């Protein structure tokens, strides 16, 4: 109970002792996605074979940001930031003429997602500050596969929201008193997901485990809202 009271009082005093501001903005750049994949077949057989793959792709990335910044001193601050992400691109595996004229093909990709980061900040001077901090993300991952028979994936169309931990780092340069240009790197390692299905051609039961990770390289524009910048004066 005493610890709870201390926390409440501390948070209450925070808004009076720190400059604070809301902000919003957009990041644009590229996403580089890698997918670790393990295919196991035929399940239930005495002789089970496993294959490990590492697939990757690069595509355009868009990210919306909104957050709240506390400035504790002239050099130290903290931002709590939420993001909405749009991924593009896909990993495409094809084996031509795998079964007579039939090709084996599978596609894997992240589609979109959301994230939340805590970003400690260091203000080098009035124009430049650096930020780096941890976060958590949730993104939709999907696969679309044809008659693969365990060669490149699990047959079928599947999707699932995956949770991952992340790290974001970058530098911000002031353009005006309320506008900044950002250079940002973001990494996310997602949890793994497994799907199992019977391959229609071989009749074998195949399992696939997928574990994606994403690297984002972005340039952005951030706008602060001056009416919220000095809450201790209100």
Tens of pLDDT, residue by residue over 81-128, are 999 999 999 988 776 656 555 667 788 999 999 999 999 999 999 999
Q: How confident is the model at residue 13 (pLDDT cuts 50, 70, 90)?
A: very low
The beta strand positions in the chain, using DSSP E, are 19-41, 49-71, 76-87, 91-99, 102-123, 128-145, 156-174, 179-190, 193-198, 205-224
Helix or strand run (H / E) with residue 138: strand 128-145
Domain boundaries, the chain: 19-233
Higher pLDDT among residues 205 and 141, named by residue: 141
Whether 34 shows a pLDDT value over 70: the answer reads yes
For 68, other C-beta atoms within 10 Å of its C-beta total 14
Of 86-100, 106-120, 186-200, 220-234, the poorest mean pLDDT is in 220-234
What pLDDT score was predicted for residue 227? Answer: 54
User: How do 102-123 and 128-145 pair as beta strands?
Assistant: antiparallel
The token pair at 112 is 């979109």
The token pair at 193 is 């997901």
The token pair at 232 is 């201790």
CATH of domain 19-233: 2.40.160.20
* Nearest in space to 147 (alpha carbons), one of 199, 108, 207: 199
Q: What is the mean pLDDT of residues 20-33?
A: 96
Q: What is the mean pLDDT of residues 6-15?
A: 43
C-alpha separations of 139 from 32, 79, 132, 163, 226 in Å: 15, 22, 21, 7, 32
What pLDDT score was predicted for residue 7? Answer: 40
Is the peptide bond preceding residue 42 cis, with omega within 30 degrees of 0? yes
Whole-angstrom Cα distance, residue 113 to residue 161? 8
C-alpha separations of 41 from 59, 143, 209, 212 in Å: 32, 18, 12, 21
CA angle 82, 18, 20 (to 5 degrees): 40
- 156-185 pLDDT per residue, tens: 899 999 999 999 999 999 999 899 999 999
Residue 14 main-chain phi, psi, to 5 deg: -60, -45
Indicate the burial class of 21 (C-beta count within 10 angstroms; 0-12, 13-18, 19 or more): buried
What pLDDT score was predicted for residue 102? Answer: 64
């Amino acid at each position: 109970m005493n610890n709870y009271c201390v926390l409440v009082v501390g948070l209450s005093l925070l808004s009076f002792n720190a400059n604070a501001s809301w902000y919003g903005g957009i990041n644009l750049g590229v996403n580089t996605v890698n997918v670790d994949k393990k295919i196991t077949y035929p399940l239930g057989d005495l002789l089970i074979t496993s294959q490990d793959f590492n697939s990757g792709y690069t595509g355009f990335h868009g990210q919306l940001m909104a957050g709240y910044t506390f400035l504790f001193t002239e050099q130290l601050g903290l931002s709590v930031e939420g993001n909405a992400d749009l991924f593009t691109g896909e990993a495409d595996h094809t084996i031509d003429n795998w079964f007579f004229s039939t090709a084996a093909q599978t596609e894997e990709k992240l589609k979109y997602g959301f994230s939340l980061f805590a970003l400690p900040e260091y203000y080098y001077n009035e124009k430049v500050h650096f930020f780096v901090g941890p976060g958590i993300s949730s993104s939709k991952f999907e696969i679309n596969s044809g008659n693969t028979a365990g060669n490149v994936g699990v047959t079928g169309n599947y999707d699932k929201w995956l949770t991952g931990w992340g790290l974001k780092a970058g530098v911000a340069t002031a353009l005006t008193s309320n506008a900044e240009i950002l250079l940002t790197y973001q990494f996310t390692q997602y949890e793994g997901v497994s799907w199992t299905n019977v391959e229609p051609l071989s009749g074998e039961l195949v399992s696939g485990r997928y574990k994606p990770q994403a690297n984002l390289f972005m340039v952005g524009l951030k706008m602060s809202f001056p009416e919220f910048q000095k809450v201790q004066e209100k």
